[in-house]
Amino acid sequence: MSRTVMSSGMAQELTKVRDDLEKAAKTADDDDLREDIREHVDAFEDYAIGDHEPDHALMDEHLNGLRQLSESAEDDTKGHLDSALETAEEYREGIEQA
């Protein structure tokens, strides 16, 4: 059972993404937007505490989703989404290519 262990720095990035998304969900005025953000919160929660990490394709899917959410958000919600997006992009850059 060979599995690459995620570095603590990468785990911290995933936790920060989750935390920023949680803040975005709490500040979202629109129920649909809040629900969409919560789907990403749940995914990043799984990545941060689980035994699996997202690969390039999965991260690209999340990054695209976060960009779309950010475009439809305003004020504090947009700020939290943009922060999560920035950290998620940094995380993706650190993933080794298959």
Q: pLDDT (tens digit, 9 = 90+) per residue, 18-67?
A: 999 999 999 999 999 999 999 999 999 999 888 778 888 999 999 999 99
Residue type at 68 in one-letter notation: Q
CA-CA distance, 98 to 81, in Å (whole number)?
28
- Number of folded domains that form the chain: 1
Rg (CA), the chain: 13
Residue 35 in domain: yes
Residue 1 in domain: no
Q: Which domain holds residue 66?
A: 9-93
Residue 16 in domain: yes
Write the pLDDT tens digit of every residue in 60-92.
Answer: 999 999 999 999 999 999 999 999 999 999 999
Residue 3 in domain: no
